[in-house]
């Protein structure tokens, strides 16, 4: 499902114009990005959490040059689904 599909679905279900829904969806995504950029997690009860994960420094190998490189510690965004969300997906019968 793409962002356009989500906008169409919300517009169809709520009767709100697609342009307004698109602005709302983009504002939501911007809010999540800004929060994570500033190190603040976003918690959506019953859906999941957008969190910042810290990756430790590690050693890796460049196989083609047969050299060792060090990857510095860094942060990455991640999504952790809520238990109710996970159970709903697990128990979905096709």
Residues 6+ apart with CB under 8 A from 74: 54, 55
Please check the confidence at residue 37 and state whether its pLDDT lies above 90.
yes
Q: Which domains does the chain have, with CATH numbers?
A: 3-90 (4.10.520.10)
**What confidence category does residue 83 fall into, taking pLDDT thresholds of 50, 70 and 90?**
very high
Please check the confidence at residue 93 and state whether its pLDDT lies above 80.
no
Question: How confident is the model over 62-78, as a mean pLDDT?
Answer: 93
How confident is the prediction for the chain on average, in pLDDT? 94
Residues 6+ apart with CB under 8 A from 53: 75, 76, 77, 78
Residue 52's H or E segment, with its range, is strand 48-55
Structure pTM?
0.79
Predicted confidence at residue 92, as pLDDT, reads 80
């Amino acid at each position: 499902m793409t962002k356009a599909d989500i906008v169409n679905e919300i517009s169809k279900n709520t009767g709100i114009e697609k342009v307004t829904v698109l602005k709302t969806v983009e504002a939501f995504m911007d809010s999540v990005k800004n929060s994570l950029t500033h190190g603040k997690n976003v918690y959506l009860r019953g859906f999941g959490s957008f969190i910042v994960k810290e990756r430790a420094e590690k050693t890796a190998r460049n196989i083609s040059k047969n050299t060792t490189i060090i990857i510095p510690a860094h942060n990455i965004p991640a999504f952790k689904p809520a238990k109710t969300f996970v159970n709903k997906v697990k128990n979905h019968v096709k």
